[in-house]
């Protein structure tokens, strides 16, 4: 790539200059603070090299919140540009980069890590395990995700961001139509993060199957664990497709192959198919854990066991199978045969059946319950009506003949924001608030939390509901501006106001984290809400010790902790401690991932020597790792006694 030296750092745009300055100042502030408070070694030893699933979970969630901020800023920039016809806030090129990064960041670097973070923290606790099956791999997963995320995020200040949409459709994404390093960033950053996700999939699949505590049969697992298990299964099947597809497009762009290109009989449509063979299951990867979170919260705050537990399990399994049979509905308009479109229409509509079953089961979980309206419950309750709106418009989109009119329009944009925000984002907020005392030892302030909730949910509807009508009125997605005579001005303005309300709510939410850290009372027991049903609440202290359970709990029924409380069993009375085997921290994953980042950065700019050095480095770290004979350490009985005594104070 013949990049001129003055084109390496993006200059000349005041918005980007502002971001560059704030990143620089923020970076200096973090480095200075860590140095001043002498926290470097603490950060490295306690966190960055940690294999503790709980710490990794928190690091995932912090990264995801950062990305929610970044992706949210992208979203606000999009909405500002579209507020009025003929806006010149962003030029078309810049707009294209912004919506492309918005999509990639929100799906791959916000929704997924947020949920994986919650799964990391909660699932091992819920199955009564001390850590995951492969703790080292878990740390490596985090670091590959983090490096992929970092690589993707620097694109807008170094070299230029991808601008072919989050779908990266060929031939638009090939060298001829997307010259420059942008699309290379997309391919390599997602590739690295994707490898991490695949490892997470394998790790948690094995963890859930093999590491359940005594008595925890599959049909006694919490719904969140069930959805996580199925999600991991989908990841294992879907992500290899993405890995291969990304590698193929990378070969096209870097090494001159003609797989998806215009020239040489390339087949651009193959990319579209491969992308969605991964892309549609991906949607369920980010929605199923959300279903699990809502199931937990609704059942907890209605004080009732989940209604029709078996039907819930059957429906998520059905959804996971169907999720691989619907990918063509993303391009009904490709000129497929009537037979193909009919088939995929029907399979897509069929997904609404198990999903509808779940909705009614949630409703009837609350039937004859005692519903308390805590903040996590409010987020979960708001999910139901909003998700139903998103769901029914999904059925409308599934009707291929009608989809020819909705496709590529704001109707579609509104539909997937309705399902992804009211499904995934609401679940992330709900789950974080619900399990916050488990992670940090204190609750988030309820009053401030409710303000954030109401402003967000109202803003969300104000932002996205009008977009259904914009779509029906012929407004295509991804246009950077429109004309006054198109007649879309009023609804766009309303939509933009809603977007800023969501931004405000996010700020209130973040303020709440600070406020609660300062002022919230600290939790004294493991069961912060007093209504806990699953094993994560059965720990002795509010924040579980690094080995989670001094003595592994025994499960006697569904909702095991509730069951224990009902039967008056106090598992903390069991003090028959034995030394606990725990895994040791490791610094190779961080180094290996950094080298992956270096190799990828070299490839982005086609500086092959950097790529080669990075790749050699990766192999060296792998060799180092394979000679690592450290297989963990034992926590002594004295240490357990000491820790447990402190917890019960």
Partner 1 sequence: MLKKLKPLSLLLFLALPLMLAGCSTPEVLDPKGPVASQQSDLIILSIIFMLTIVAVVFVLLTIILVKYRERKDHDKYSPELHGSMLLETIWTIIPIIIVVILAVPTVRTIYSLEEAPQPKTAEAANEDPLVVHATSINWKWVFTYPDEDIETVNYLHIPIHRPVEFKLTSADSMAALWIPSLGGQKYNMAGMQTTLYLQADHVGTYDGRNANFTGEGFNEQRFKVYADEEADYQQWVEEVQNSAPELTQYEYDNLLIPGVYDGTAEFNGTHLQWIDHSKNADYTLEAWDRLGYEPKNPHAKDKSQNILPEDEIPYYQQDNTVDNSDEDMDSEEHAHAGHE
| 370 sits near partner 1 (criterion: CB under 8 A) | yes
Among 317, 371, 504, 510, binds partner 1 (CB under 8 A): 371
Among 183, 445, 461, 571, binds partner 1 (CB under 8 A): 461
Q: Which long-range contacts (CB under 8 A, 24 or more apart) does 504-507 make?
A: 504/455, 504/459, 505/451, 505/452, 505/453, 505/455, 505/456, 505/459, 506/68, 506/69, 506/72, 506/452, 506/456
| 290 sits near partner 1 (criterion: CB under 8 A) | no
Please state the φ and ψ torsions of residue 329, each to the nearest 5 degrees. Answer: -65, -10
The β-bridge relationship of strands 580-582 and 633-635 is antiparallel
| 279 sits near partner 1 (criterion: CB under 8 A) | no
Using the rule CB under 8 A, give the single segment among 39-47, 52-60, 308-316, 428-436 that binds partner 1.
308-316
For residues 273 and 643, which CB has a smaller minimum distance to partner 1 in the complex?
273
Among 29, 33, 62, 93, binds partner 1 (CB under 8 A): 93
Encode 300-310: b = buried (16+ Cβ within 10 Å), e = exposed: bbbebbbbbbe
| 395 sits near partner 1 (criterion: CB under 8 A) | yes
| 305 sits near partner 1 (criterion: CB under 8 A) | yes
**Cβ 494 to partner 1 shortest distance, Å:** 8
Among 150, 462, 535, 647, binds partner 1 (CB under 8 A): 462
Q: Are the beta carbons of 177 and 162 closer than 8 angstroms?
A: no
Please state the φ and ψ torsions of residue 127, each to the nearest 5 degrees. Answer: -95, 5
d(C-alpha 248, C-alpha 271), whole Å: 9
d(C-alpha 562, C-alpha 7), whole Å: 61
Using the rule CB under 8 A, give the single segment among 65-73, 275-283, 482-490, 641-649 that binds partner 1.
482-490
**Cβ 332 to partner 1 shortest distance, Å:** 9
For residues 359 and 513, which CB has a smaller minimum distance to partner 1 in the complex?
359
Site for partner 1 in 348-367 (CB under 8 A): 349-350, 352-353, 356-357, 359-361, 363-367
Among 36, 88, 265, 519, binds partner 1 (CB under 8 A): 265
| 257 sits near partner 1 (criterion: CB under 8 A) | no
Q: Which two tokens stand for residue 422?
A: 């009211």
In order of 50, 446, 644, the CA distances from 546 in angstroms are 11, 28, 11
For residues 100 and 621, which CB has a smaller minimum distance to partner 1 in the complex?
100
| 389 sits near partner 1 (criterion: CB under 8 A) | yes
Binding pattern for the stretch 159-198 against partner 1, x by CB under 8 A and - elsewhere: xx--xxx---x-xx--xxxxxxxx----------------
**Cβ 10 to partner 1 shortest distance, Å:** 6
**Cβ 79 to partner 1 shortest distance, Å:** 16
DSSP string of 539-551?
A: SSSSSPPTTS-SS
In order of 53, 582, 630, 638, the CA distances from 138 in angstroms are 7, 14, 17, 29
Q: Which two tokens stand for residue 152?
A: 């993707």
d(C-alpha 68, C-alpha 605), whole Å: 27
| 396 sits near partner 1 (criterion: CB under 8 A) | yes
Among 26, 35, 256, 372, binds partner 1 (CB under 8 A): 372
- Contacts with 516 (C-beta within 8 Å, 6 or more apart), sequence order: 436, 442, 443, 444, 445, 448
DSSP conformation class of 101:
H
In order of 86, 251, 438, the CA distances from 447 in angstroms are 41, 53, 20
Q: Are the beta carbons of 184 and 611 closer than 8 angstroms?
A: no
| 3 sits near partner 1 (criterion: CB under 8 A) | yes
Using the rule CB under 8 A, give the single segment among 134-142, 208-216, 260-268, 571-579 that binds partner 1.
260-268
For residues 114 and 429, which CB has a smaller minimum distance to partner 1 in the complex?
429
Give Cα 639 to chain centroid, integer Å. Answer: 36
For residues 128 and 471, which CB has a smaller minimum distance to partner 1 in the complex?
471
| 378 sits near partner 1 (criterion: CB under 8 A) | yes
For residues 462 and 591, which CB has a smaller minimum distance to partner 1 in the complex?
462
In order of 40, 203, 364, the CA distances from 124 in angstroms are 29, 11, 28
Binding pattern for the stretch 105-144 against partner 1, x by CB under 8 A and - elsewhere: ----------------------------------------
Among 392, 448, 510, 613, binds partner 1 (CB under 8 A): 392
Site for partner 1 in 519-538 (CB under 8 A): none
- Kindly report the CA angle at 26 between 25 and 32, in degrees rounded to 5? 85
Q: Which two tokens stand for residue 529?
A: 């809400």
| 346 sits near partner 1 (criterion: CB under 8 A) | yes
Using the rule CB under 8 A, give the single segment among 17-25, 114-122, 286-294, 332-340 that binds partner 1.
332-340
Among 76, 317, 479, 618, binds partner 1 (CB under 8 A): 479
DSSP string of 488-523?
A: -HHHHHHHHHHHHHHHHHHHHHHHHHHHHHHHSPBP
Among 84, 477, 546, 625, binds partner 1 (CB under 8 A): 477
């Amino acid at each position: 790539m013949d990049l001129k030296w003055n084109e390496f750092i993006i200059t000349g745009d005041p918005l980007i200059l502002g971001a560059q300055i704030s990143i620089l100042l923020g970076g200096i502030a973090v480095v200075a603070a860590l140095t001043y408070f002498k926290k470097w070694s603490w950060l490295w030893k306690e966190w960055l090299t940690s294999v503790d699933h709980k710490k990794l979970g928190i690091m995932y969630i912090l990264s995801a919140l950062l990305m929610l901020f970044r992706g949210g800023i992208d979203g606000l920039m999009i909405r500002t540009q579209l507020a009025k016809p003929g806006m010149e806030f962003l030029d078309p090129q810049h707009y294209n980069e912004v919506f492309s990064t918005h999509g990639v960041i929100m799906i791959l670097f916000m929704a997924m890590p947020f949920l994986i973070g919650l799964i990391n923290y909660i699932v091992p606790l819920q199955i009564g395990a001390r850590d995951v099956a492969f703790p080292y791999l878990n740390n490596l997963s985090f670091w590959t995700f983090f490096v992929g995320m970092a690589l993707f995020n620097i694109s807008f200040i170094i070299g230029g961001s991808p601008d072919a949409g989050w779908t990266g459709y060929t031939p638009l994404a090939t060298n001829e139509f997307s010259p420059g390093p942008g699309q290379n960033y997309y391919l390599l950053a997602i590739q690295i993060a994707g490898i991490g996700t695949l490892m997470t999939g394998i790790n948690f699949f094995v963890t859930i199957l093999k590491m359940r505590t005594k008595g925890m049969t599959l049909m006694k697992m919490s719904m969140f664990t069930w959805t996580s298990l199925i999600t991991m299964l989908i990841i294992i099947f879907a992500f290899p497709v993405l890995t291969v597809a990304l590698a193929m497009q990378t070969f096209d762009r870097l090494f001159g192959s003609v797989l998806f290109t215009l020239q040489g009989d390339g087949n651009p449509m193959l990319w579209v198919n491969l992308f969605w063979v991964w892309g549609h299951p991906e949607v369920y990867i980010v929605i199923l854990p959300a279903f699990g979170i809502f199931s937990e919260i609704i059942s907890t705050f209605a004080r009732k066991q989940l209604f029709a537990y078996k039907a819930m399990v059957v429906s998520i399994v059905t959804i996971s199978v169907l999720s691989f049979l619907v990918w063509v509905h993303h391009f009904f308009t490709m000129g497929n045969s009537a037979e193909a479109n009919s088939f995929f229409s029907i399979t897509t509509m069929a997904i609404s059946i198990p999903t509808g079953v779940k909705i009614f089961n949630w409703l009837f979980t609350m039937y004859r319950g005692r519903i308390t309206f805590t903040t996590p419950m409010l987020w979960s309750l708001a999910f139901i009506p909003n998700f139903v709106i998103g769901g029914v418009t999904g059925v409308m989109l599934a009707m291929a003949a009608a989809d020819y009119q909705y496709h590529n329009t704001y109707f579609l944009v509104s539909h997937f924001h309705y399902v992804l925000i009211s499904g995934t984002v609401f679940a992330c907020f709900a789950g974080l608030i619900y399990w916050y005392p488990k992670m940090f030892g204190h609750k988030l302030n309820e009053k401030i939390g409710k303000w954030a909730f109401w402003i967000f949910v109202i803003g969300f509807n104000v932002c996205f509901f009008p977009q259904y009508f914009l779509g029906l009125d012929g407004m295509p997605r991804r246009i950077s501006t429109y004309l006054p005579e198109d007649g879309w001005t009023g609804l766009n303005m309303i939509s933009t106001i809603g977007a800023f309300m969501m931004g405000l709510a996010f700020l209130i939410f973040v303020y709440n984290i600070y406020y609660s850290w300062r002022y919230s009372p600290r939790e004294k027991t493991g069961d912060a809400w007093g209504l806990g049903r699953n094993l994560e609440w059965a720990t002795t202290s509010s924040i579980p010790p690094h080995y989670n359970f001094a003595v592994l709990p025994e499960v006697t029924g569904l909702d095991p902790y509730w069951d224990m409380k009902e039967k008056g069993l106090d598992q903390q009375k069991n003090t028959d401690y034995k030394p606990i085997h725990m895994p040791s921290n490791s610094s190779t994953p961080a180094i290996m991932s950094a080298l992956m980042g270096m190799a990828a950065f070299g490839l982005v700019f086609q500086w092959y020597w950097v790529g080669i050095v990075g790749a050699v480095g990766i192999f060296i770290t792998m060799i180092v790792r394979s000679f690592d004979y450290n297989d963990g350490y034992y926590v002594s009985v004295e240490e357990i006694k000491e820790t447990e005594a402190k917890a019960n104070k």
